[in-house]
Amino acid sequence: RIYLVETADRAAAFELSCETEPVSNNDDFVALANLAVKAVETQDISSVDALKNAVVDGVKIADRLADVLVKIQENIDFRKFAEIKKAPNSVFGIYSHMKGKIGVITELAFEGSADEAALKAAAKDIAMQAAAFAPVALNDASVPAETIEKEKEIAKAQIENAAKESGKVTKPEFVQRQIDGRVAKVLKEIVLEDQEFFMAEKNPKKLSVKDYLQEVVAKQLGLSSLKVVNFVRFERGK
């Protein structure tokens, strides 16, 4: 399961994995997870190793994990950890989907003054967006280069196959334009701030996440600026 923790100055996510669904509901598994949550809430944990080595209420988490492994006889481990340290004038949005199958943390930065509850509600909406549509990056600049190259290769192959089937010869510069267009379309689907904000009742104009926050939410709250500056998305087993 994915566990999410928020404190005054940071938010963190970690995965505690097991092999079967019933074990994730086992009392010992849940107690181990709760011990880890307490460690993250009270200590400066920044990695899986640091989490395992943390001591809470006189108990080292790695030792409790070893006890649970012996008792349950199933492969259980902490698989991943991520944190976001809170910046000035920012809020976190926290969303857990299907009892920890997916966990998302978003951070929105704002300029101006607004009700914190309203800001956190907007941040949670964006976390739900990320949970549902699985972005791989916050913006175009943060998309991994290998992802872009892979999409270019896919687009090129599709265009070349279509040309062979039609028997038409396409000029290289036209092929490149088609490749660029197809990659741009893919980026809008995998980049969080470029995705269309999914709540239709709040977004009748079908604005992107970036534009929705600035043109709708910021105006409603009287802010000069509101944008996503960070997010973490963990999915169980991935």
- The model's pLDDT over 39-87, given as tens digits with 9 standing for 90+, comes to 999 999 999 999 999 999 999 999 999 999 999 999 999 999 999 999 9
Helix axes 61-72, 27-42, angle to 10 degrees: 170
- Looking at residue 171, its pLDDT comes to 74
Token pair listed for 72: 């349950």
Residues with Cβ within 8 Å of residue 104, at least 6 apart in sequence: 4, 93, 94, 95, 96, 97, 127, 128, 130, 131, 231, 232, 233, 234
Are residues 18 and 237 in contact, defined by beta-carbon separation less than 8 angstroms?
no
- 167 or 191, greater pLDDT: 191
In this structure, the number of other CB atoms found within 10 A of the CB of residue 157 comes to 10
Confidence band (pLDDT; 50, 70, 90) for 158? confident
Residues 144, 145, 148: CA angle, nearest 5 degrees: 95
| Strand (E) or helix (H) holding 225 | strand 225-235
Residue type, 90: S
Confidence band (pLDDT; 50, 70, 90) for 96? very high
57: alpha, beta or left? (left if phi > 0; alpha if psi -120 to 50): left
3-state secondary structure at position 166: helix
Residue identified by tokens 């966990």 is 103
| Dihedral angle, C-alpha 154, 158, 163, 166, nearest 10 ° | 170
3-state secondary structure at position 106: strand
Query: Between the ranges 49-53, 139-143, 152-156, where is the mean pLDDT highest?
Result: 49-53
